[in-house]
Structure 1
């Protein structure tokens, strides 16, 4: 990855190696069962496409500008294991962080001993990034990955990006833990993840908009490499117990890693990103539960058990990691975003809600996520 003047900021290969070595093994399952799970997830992903597009009334545009018919292969579906999920996300991180790490590399390369520090720091940071990814790799059920370059192992949409990842071992683990019907749970998960694929394939400007906001956020990073790496190291040490008890400090003890590296300008950008992510996640939850009763007989039981599991976490370390990585904020995004979507659809219908996808200007602000009537008033010109 970014390597200028002999200085490598992050050893991404080591990050992949570390994550795949540390990640928990998946649930015990025979080869035949594994093949059946993969085949069923692929079938559910295909079926979910039609269910989601019919419910949301969102279709990818065709070359002539009209709506695409059902079945268009706008982005591939990849059923993956935990190691493959790690590799896909590392590829995405490399792409997104290249400009930031390039600037930091140039700054460090000009300092005395910069090459030596870079070599050592790249290895250390690679291990630490790998540790964080190993935690996440056993928890993610699915993801629409849109930033990694297209490769043989990571095919993407025809325009050069985007693929839907379904993490099979994690889906099997959760369905067993919740003791729910596997067929129903797998379809329910696919409905959520297919909604994300539909969002990005039916709204062509959305990927570039999100990428632009993330790049703007990174461009505002004003700290030097050593400070950023120190923050990351502190985060990992506080999570793994490597830091002596009592050294956390009041300033950073209750803040996520993202919050620790923010400047005032970044907070403004992050507010916009938070609103977009709340919309996307809330919309996916709304759709999966809206379609669910028609095709998932046990959807009520699944939702009740899954929501309880999502909120409770799995122990002290899990809760600490979620807080530090900002995953608690993600849980709020699900709740607040779903409430926004439901309220707007109740007020102006699905077609009225879909005006949210017209342009970046019609996306809700962070304040409007909490005040759906404000968005309706601004976009539809309707008073409360």
Structure 2
């Protein structure tokens, strides 16, 4: 881990885009200890068994038939950065294309309140010729954006335990989904929580495989989420698909609300199903991990707030409360009716009033 080299990588950001992704990834890795993935044979077999057992248990409990990804990887933190930078980039590509291709003004990506900076090419004629300082402003914006992305990638790489990646917005529509476990973080958090590492690792595997179950049960879900992301971005950059009156002013509020509600359902269902399917004690794991999510020093809490992790925690809580009510009122298979079609997703109001959803859908 070398903070000075990380800062230097950010300062050397270059290229035509608003983010230098190679430098962002390099800076994140230089500021992050990769950790060890020198697995013993028992650990390697343990991961494979955990994933296999999770699939069998979840399929039996939820009544869902699904496959786990072909790509199940045990990663270190640098591997996670390399795997995830593509996701960040795919989301940002339309914004970069609009900024670079249309000459629109953009501020620093990591600071929505930042002043806009002119990114017109130096040679672009204005009313009185080339804009003075345009190149400097563009370069400064790129450095700020690259630094923001490097910070986000590094912080998440040090905290993510596992990840199911449905590869939203992938260039290849048939690209296989991925399942990743960040081994050094799993070991470190199990130690910090003072819980048995094999049981904790298995619990994390159940959580991530639950997401695979959701997407397997809902083949329409990736396209649904992608369309909301794309609509929101189009509204933010003023694309042709933006909602009238919102283009260039921020996320399409309807798309954003639908995306938030869908992700609340995704996270909440995973919480409830994994607990009901898990084949060992988990109450202490849940309690200690929740305490960890809400704890940490001021820097960690600030980072969580900037990255929206507090919002994600509220998604867990609201979504889990909804699905617990539905599962208790009917059963867990009835709760899975959410994934039969997009129209079965709860509305934002129904998340807080599950009885209304039960009346409407009647699973």
Stretches of structure 2 that go unaligned for 5 or more consecutive residues are 1-14, 105-118, 125-133, 240-246
Tell me, what secondary structure is at the counterpart of 1:180?
coil
Are the aligned partners of 1:80 and 1:166 in contact in 2 as well (CA < 8 Å)?
yes
| 2:344 matches 1:349 | no
Tell me, what secondary structure is at the counterpart of 1:220?
helix
| 2:25 matches 1:16 | yes
Measure how far apart 1:16 and its partner are: 0.6
Which residue of the partner structure matches residue 43 of structure 2?
A: 37
| 2:100 matches 1:105 | yes
Which residue of the partner structure matches residue 281 of structure 1?
A: 267
Tell me, what secondary structure is at the counterpart of 1:166?
strand
Tell me, what secondary structure is at the counterpart of 2:160?
coil
Measure how far apart 1:7 and its partner are: 2.6
Which residue of the partner structure matches residue 190 of structure 1?
A: 205
- Shift in CA distance, 89/32, structure 1 to aligned 2, threshold 3 Å: closer
| 2:76 matches 1:81 | yes
Tell me, what secondary structure is at the counterpart of 1:221?
helix
User: What do the CA deviations read for 1:215-251 (whole angstroms, capped 9, x no partner)?
Assistant: 1111110489xxxxxxxxxxxxxxxxxxxxxxxxxxx
Are the aligned partners of 1:59 and 1:202 in contact in 2 as well (CA < 8 Å)?
yes
Measure how far apart 1:11 and its partner are: 0.7
Measure how far apart 1:291 and its partner are: 1.8
| 2:163 matches 1:143 | yes
Match of 1:305 among 265, 281, 288: 288
- Shift in CA distance, 105/197, structure 1 to aligned 2, threshold 3 Å: same
Aligned pairs for 1:296-375 within 5 A: 296=280, 298-312=281-295, 314-375=296-357
Give TM-score, length-normalised by structure 2: 0.79
Return the alpha-carbon distance in structure 1 between the equivalents of residues 274 and 37 of structure 2: 30
Measure how far apart 1:23 and its partner are: 1.7
Return the alpha-carbon distance in structure 1 between the equivalents of residues 254 and 300 of structure 2: 29
Return the alpha-carbon distance in structure 2 between the equivalents of residues 306 and 98 of structure 1: 34
Return the alpha-carbon distance in structure 1 between the equivalents of residues 322 and 188 of structure 2: 31
Measure how far apart 1:73 and its partner are: 5.1
Measure how far apart 1:121 and its partner are: 3.5
Measure how far apart 1:89 and its partner are: 1.4
User: What do the CA deviations read for 1:116-168 (whole angstroms, capped 9, x no partner)?
Assistant: 354553344223211121111111111111227889xxxx9x93131111111
Match of 1:51 among 29, 36, 57: 57
Are the aligned partners of 2:326 and 2:354 in contact in 1 as well (CA < 8 Å)?
yes
- Shift in CA distance, 223/73, structure 1 to aligned 2, threshold 3 Å: closer
Are the aligned partners of 2:162 and 2:179 in contact in 1 as well (CA < 8 Å)?
yes
Return the alpha-carbon distance in structure 2 between the equivalents of residues 268 and 172 of structure 1: 40
Give TM-score, length-normalised by structure 1: 0.75
Which residue of the partner structure matches residue 225 of structure 2?
A: 210
Return the alpha-carbon distance in structure 1 between the equivalents of residues 205 and 39 of structure 2: 21
Tell me, what secondary structure is at the counterpart of 2:331?
helix
CA RMSD of aligned residues (A): 2.8
Measure how far apart 1:76 and its partner are: 2.5
Which residue of the partner structure matches residue 234 of structure 2?
A: 219
Are the aligned partners of 2:68 and 2:212 in contact in 1 as well (CA < 8 Å)?
no
Return the alpha-carbon distance in structure 2 between the equivalents of residues 315 and 173 of structure 1: 17
Match of 1:376 among 354, 358, 363: 358
Measure how far apart 1:286 and its partner are: 0.7
